[in-house]
Amino acid sequence: MGRTGRRPGQQDTREAILAASREAFAERGYDGASIRLIAAGAGVDPALVHHYFGTKDQLFLAAMQAPMDPAELLPPVLAGGVDGVGERLVRTMLGVWDSPAGSAAVALVRSAVSNELIAKMLREFIFNRILRRVAKGLDLDPAESRYRVSLVASQMAGLIMVRYIIKIEPLASAPPETIVELIGPTVQRYIAGELAFPPVSGRK
Amino acid sequence: MGRTGRRPGQQDTREAILAASREAFAERGYDGASIRLIAAGAGVDPALVHHYFGTKDQLFLAAMQAPMDPAELLPPVLAGGVDGVGERLVRTMLGVWDSPAGSAAVALVRSAVSNELIAKMLREFIFNRILRRVAKGLDLDPAESRYRVSLVASQMAGLIMVRYIIKIEPLASAPPETIVELIGPTVQRYIAGELAFPPVSGRK
């Protein structure tokens, strides 16, 4: 990525691979989209996909234009266990979004909202890179974990909307630690609180 | 709105008024945007603005393409006072967004995310039609109410994103009452819980 001196043909090939991968990830999910399938969609050899983008993981991040990889940010958040994880999650999220990388993240959300394909990929991204790891890292009850993590997603997505996109004050410019104190307990309750869940198995 | 048999000239005038009003509401806020200013922006007589759209309130709703008016939905929610208001707010919101009117609401959020002008108007809309009324209807401490209502907005906006736009399961298709039970307490805490607020006066 960001290599200089690329010839236009290489650029086209890269773009074709990225487009094919977005479609494949959106249609089949992360697990179902193989490099072989993506290469076929782009009309190139699978080796070329690896050559340009490395692993499927790296291709996924490139296809999402993800400004950072939650898989790298999450281990320290989860390492402390359930105690205080709500505050740590909010603090870590604010650390990324308040940083220069945040503007790329805002751009990603904007595209996801206006483009169904990107929305599907973002959904896949959230599940694979974030929610699944949180559930596993904290050893959540599998019967409840999908509910819990989608609740966490609802508070996090809303914080992103209000602070970075619609910009509603005072949350838009409040100091990060204030937000950690106010919203951390919500996330904590969603992850570890006593919640009355309906049986999930009967629903998709 | 929706009159049949309009001549094209009328349609153009209406569109010009709507465009001028969006700009005025976004730039100056609801209070600062006068009908006179909007009429001048559209190059028409103020009487024509009233003729086509009625009151400033009605023009504002038309300019937002708002599928419903929160000012009409909120009184029953607020009438019960602070007790249980979190659950009532979530239930009322789901009632609108789960209804056929919900797709128009989704369209509105999509435009707001991709268009800065609409985002500014939506911010104004949220403040004027929702947050200000909630704060007043519940008689919240003015020093805290902006924090409280922007926190409520963060949870509501996130629920909208997860349930209707990014569609993360199981929240995307959970029964409304399940969501009321899970998320109502969050909204309740934001409105009426003991929260440690920083002094707001020093910040914008």
Question: Residue A7: its pLDDT value, please?
Answer: 58
The three state secondary structure string of B52-112 is HHCCHHHHHHHHCCCCCCHHHHHHHHHHCCCCCHHHHHHHHHHHHHCCCCHHHHHHHHHHH
Mean pLDDT of B74-102: 91
The verdict on ipTM greater than 0.95 is no
Mean pLDDT of B164-189: 94
Answer yes or no: is pLDDT of B5 > 90.
Answer: no
Q: Would you place residue B203 in the very low, low, confident or very high pLDDT band (cuts 50, 70, 90)?
A: very low
Contact check, Cβ <8 Å, B170/A146: yes
Question: Residue A143: its pLDDT value, please?
Answer: 81
Q: Would you place residue A4 in the very low, low, confident or very high pLDDT band (cuts 50, 70, 90)?
A: low
Give A22's contacts (C-beta < 8 A, 6+ positions apart).
A63, A117, A118, A121
Q: Would you list the DSSP string of B106-148?
A: HHHHHHHHH-HHHHHHHHHHIIIIIIHHHHHHTT--HHHHHHH
> What is B70-192's CATH number?
1.10.357.10
Task: Identify which of B113, B185, B186 has the shortest CB distance to residue A113.
Answer: B113
Best of A166, A191, A200, A201 to substitute, by most chain B Cβ atoms within 10 angstroms, is A166
Chain segment B105-145, per-residue pLDDT in tens: 888 888 777 777 888 888 888 877 788 888 889 998 888 88
- Residues in chain B closer than 8 A to A117 (CB atoms): none
Answer yes or no: is pLDDT of A90 > 50.
Answer: yes
Instruction: Tell whether A112 is within 8 A of chain B (Cβ).
Output: yes
Chain segment B28-77, per-residue pLDDT in tens: 888 889 999 999 999 999 999 999 999 988 898 888 877 778 878 889 99
Lowest mean pLDDT among A23-37, B98-112, B144-158, B170-184: B98-112
Distance CA B147, CA A176 (A): 14
The larger pLDDT score, comparing residue B2 to residue B44, is at B44
- Provide the mean pLDDT of chain B: 86
Question: Residue B45: its pLDDT value, please?
Answer: 96
Chain segment A55-83, per-residue pLDDT in tens: 988 898 888 877 778 878 889 999 989 99
Distance CA A49, CA B14 (A): 52
Answer yes or no: is pLDDT of A21 > 80.
Answer: yes
Chain segment A116-146, per-residue pLDDT in tens: 788 888 888 887 778 888 888 999 888 888 8
Question: Residue A38: its pLDDT value, please?
Answer: 95
Give B153's contacts (C-beta < 8 A, 6+ positions apart).
A158, A162, A166, A168, A171, B126, B130, B131
Selection from B97-101, B169-173, B186-190 with the highest mean pLDDT: B186-190
Shortest CA distance from A118: residue in chain B: B166
> What is B8-63's CATH number?
1.10.10.60
Question: Residue A5: its pLDDT value, please?
Answer: 53
Answer yes or no: is pLDDT of B201 > 70.
Answer: no
Answer yes or no: is pLDDT of B102 > 80.
Answer: yes
Q: What percent of chain B has pLDDT over 70?
A: 93
> What is A9-64's CATH number?
1.10.10.60
Mean pLDDT of B151-159: 94
Contact check, Cβ <8 Å, A157/B161: yes
Is residue A41 within 8 Å of A20, Cβ to Cβ?
yes
Give B164's contacts (C-beta < 8 A, 6+ positions apart).
B97, B102, B105, B106, B109, B172
Shortest CA distance from A107: residue in chain B: B114
pTM of the model: 0.80
Mean pLDDT of B87-109: 88
Best of A151, A164, A179, A189 to substitute, by most chain B Cβ atoms within 10 angstroms, is A151
Instruction: Tell whether A194 is within 8 A of chain B (Cβ).
Output: no
Answer yes or no: is pLDDT of A1 > 50.
Answer: no
Instruction: Tell whether B157 is within 8 A of chain A (Cβ).
Output: yes
Count, in order, helices (H) and strands (E) of chain A. 11, 0
Mean pLDDT of A106-121: 80
Question: Residue A87: its pLDDT value, please?
Answer: 96
Q: What are the sequence ranges of the domains in chain B? A: 8-63, 70-192
Contact check, Cβ <8 Å, A161/B158: yes
Contact check, Cβ <8 Å, B171/A151: yes
Question: Residue B6: its pLDDT value, please?
Answer: 53
Instruction: Tell whether A115 is within 8 A of chain B (Cβ).
Output: no
